Amino acid sequence: MNTKLKQVFRGKVVNKAHTINTGVDEFPRYVVEYLIDNYCAEETFHQDMEGPSAGVAMVTGIVSALRRLPVRHNLAMTGEITIMGRVLPVGGIQQKVRAAYDAGIAEVLLPADNLKEANGLPASILGAITLTPVQSIDEVLRRALLDGEGHSQTGASSSPRNQTSASASVR
């Protein structure tokens, strides 16, 4: 990754980290460098930045790294995040849910204001994936981060999607 892109991304990571209560007094530089080196590839960025849809995923990754808690591997998420931690709607919800379905994802966290659009997907997709509307980053973190026993604060685990589910599951 080129130096300019690293500088742009470093600023974005630090800014996102300061929008949430990470439970850490000082934001360690090694966490920023780790996130940049391990999760950001130059080819994934258009115009040298991520889109607003990556906001909740970025914050979740930062909190995961700082608290040393893993993120559920069967979970996808999208949503723009405000400085106060509110999750805002984004575009392309149907395409994002379809991509999660194609990847075998069990649950998608999406902005509550996008749920109506997502419910326009075919029944075969809605029957196989759980759509969970969220309004705040706190809701996202409760569902996404796993404790030492492999469960989220809501009791969800990282078990694979049930391919034979008969009806859409919306939380």
DSSP 115-158: HHHHTTS-HHHHTTSEEEEESBHHHHHHHHB--TTSB-TTS-B-
Q: Residue 98 has what pLDDT?
A: 96
Whether 96 is catalytic: yes
Residue from 96, 157, 159, 169 carrying the catalytic annotation: 96
Q: Is 84 helix (H, G, I), strand (E, B) or coil?
A: coil
Q: Is 87 helix (H, G, I), strand (E, B) or coil?
A: strand
Domains defined along the chain, listed by start = 3-148 (3.30.230.10)
Q: Is the pLDDT of residue 167 over 70?
A: no
Two structure tokens written together for 109: 């966290």
> 28-56: per-residue pLDDT in tens?
666 666 665 655 544 444 444 456 788 89
What's the whole-number mean pLDDT along residues 1-9? 68
For the chain, where are the alpha helices, taking DSSP H only?
3-17, 29-39, 55-67, 93-102, 115-118, 123-126, 137-144
Whether 16 is catalytic: no
Q: Residue 85 has what pLDDT?
A: 86
> 97-132: per-residue pLDDT in tens?
999 999 999 999 999 999 999 999 999 999 999 999
Residue from 12, 16, 53, 64 carrying the catalytic annotation: 53
Two structure tokens written together for 72: 């559920």
